[in-house]
Amino acid sequence: MLKKIFYILLLFISITAVGQRTNSSPYSFFGIGQQYSSQTVEQASMGGIGIAFSDTYHLNFLNPASIANLRFTTYTVGLLVNDLTIKDFSGSQKSTSTNLSYVNIGFPIGNKAGVSFGLKPNSSVGYSLFNISKDSEGSAIDVTRFYGVGGTNKIYGTFGLFVTKNLSVGVEAEYVFGKVENSVLFQESGVQLASKNTETLSLRGAGLKLGLHYKKELTNKLTMSAGAVVKFENDIKSTGNEYLYSLVVQNSSFEEPRDTTYNSSTTGILKNPIRTSLGFGLGKRDKWYAGANYEFQNAIDLQGSLLSSSNTYSYGDSNKFSLGGFYLPKMNSISSYWNRVTYRAGVRFEKTGLLVNNTATTNGLTEINDFGMSFGLGLPLKGVSNLNLGVEYGKKGTTENNLIQENYFNFRMSISLNDIWFVKRRID
């Protein structure tokens, strides 16, 4: 009973901490911010695979059908540390941010079903960009600052059920909510008052995801698995206000507002089309596994206040390919702890769908692509609980056409606490 109380307290403590996150990516300027992938630390350490993978003591955020395999009550919480280097044609700068990636609790229902629920970030906005215009002598004429903060979270519930011995189905429902604030401050040299345009948005939306998972025992103790997930079309709606006012900027951290020249309510909508994910894998239970994922989606549609300027960016079709796996030398080894450690690795290639134009004289849009390679360890704790560590190195964007390239190093950590609940007593 004390363990159950401990897990529940950890869950609620972690929920309050999910919102304490930051982001330093300039690409979070677009849409509702930089979107987070739904994956555990274990999955991220294998390049993001997991559509076709399932086991009895790990949660799977990618395919809701896999929860049917769970045989232990599992509480898991994940942490992400992002070290980011931003480069353009003139130089580079670095930043580091830390946030709680997810909190989740799941438990089996008999031997044929499972359920889980949790909270995780959905998107994050956190940029501060400056544009300085200079005259022929190199003196500043005016300064424009683009600033944004906020993001959205996602609360969700998952149910999975075996419909045959080898086939399970699952459903996941989610609710997205959050707030975003974007502003543009403009100040001319020698002019006392600056002008600032600020937009505050409240974001709300719901979504539904269905999954299938098939697993078949082959000869030589090998297991073949396959999976498919469809996330249906969903809308994220925004409501808010837009202000334009004059102000005095006394220093970089203090602003004194003066006259408001424009005040209006705004509405917008982000339309997410159907996203389809397919996966295939082969492995030996508690020994090794290798798998691949492929995801694809048509272009996101932004309308109203969420579309700041159709000339500066747009969205196209997106897709992602992931390849990875794990190796476990000897799960029940007594002589060596490191033989009980799970070793993971993977790689991914992603076409994000974001198209950006940073050259005012042309209408050409540049694709923003993302590449990452990852490694990880699953360190066993007491029982079947485990501590998971993962690192990822990647590159997003390009310095071509006056754009920005991000080189990032992600450190991930999660703890997965496992126990058996709802067991009927044999002796009163």
Residue with the bigger pLDDT between 424 and 137: it is: 137
For the residues 375-383, what does the mean pLDDT come to? 91
- Name the residue range of residue 61's domain: 23-309+328-353+371-419
pLDDT over 50 (residue 217) = yes
Please give the backbone phi and psi of residue 110, each rounded to the nearest 5 degrees, phi first: 65, -145
Q: At CA 182, angle to CA 173 and CA 372, rounded to 5?
A: 60
> Within a domain: residue 318?
no
pLDDT at 350: 96
- Mean pLDDT, all residues of the chain: 86
Hunting for tokens 């004289």 — which residue is that?
361
Question: pLDDT per residue over 299-343, tens digit each?
Answer: 999 888 776 655 678 899 999 999 999 999 998 888 899 999 999
Token reading at 424: 């009927």
Can you say whether the dihedral through the CA atoms of 60, 415, 412, 103 is positive or negative? positive
Overall number of domains in the chain: 1
DSSP at 425:
P
Residue with the bigger pLDDT between 357 and 203: it is: 203
Residue with the bigger pLDDT between 15 and 312: it is: 312
pLDDT at 421: 54
> Within a domain: residue 317?
no
Can you say whether the dihedral through the CA atoms of 253, 254, 260, 261 is positive or negative? negative
Of 308-312, 356-360, 404-408, which one has max mean pLDDT? 404-408
Cα dihedral 62→57→379→334 (10° resolution): -150
pLDDT at 233: 96
Token reading at 191: 């002019």
Percent of the chain clearing pLDDT 90 (strictly above): 54
H or E element at residue 135? none
DSSP at 309:
-
CATH number of the domain encompassing residue 178: 2.40.160.60
pLDDT over 70 (residue 358) = no
> Within a domain: residue 123?
yes
Query: 0.75 exceeded by the pTM?
Result: yes
Q: Are 41 and 414 in contact (CB under 8 A)?
A: yes
Instruction: Give the strand pairing for 366-380 and 342-356.
Output: antiparallel
User: Which three-class secondary structure state does DSSP give residue 427?
Assistant: coil
> Within a domain: residue 17?
no
Token reading at 302: 């932004």
Q: How far apart are CA 376 and CA 45, in angstroms?
A: 5
Of 29, 53, 48, 103, the residue nearest 390 (C-alpha): 48
> Within a domain: residue 18?
no
Cα dihedral 87→92→94→99 (10° resolution): -20
pLDDT at 427: 47
Q: Are 43 and 50 in contact (CB under 8 A)?
A: yes
Q: How far apart are CA 228 and CA 210, in angstroms?
A: 8
pLDDT over 60 (residue 7) = no
Q: How far apart are CA 5 and CA 43, in angstroms?
A: 28
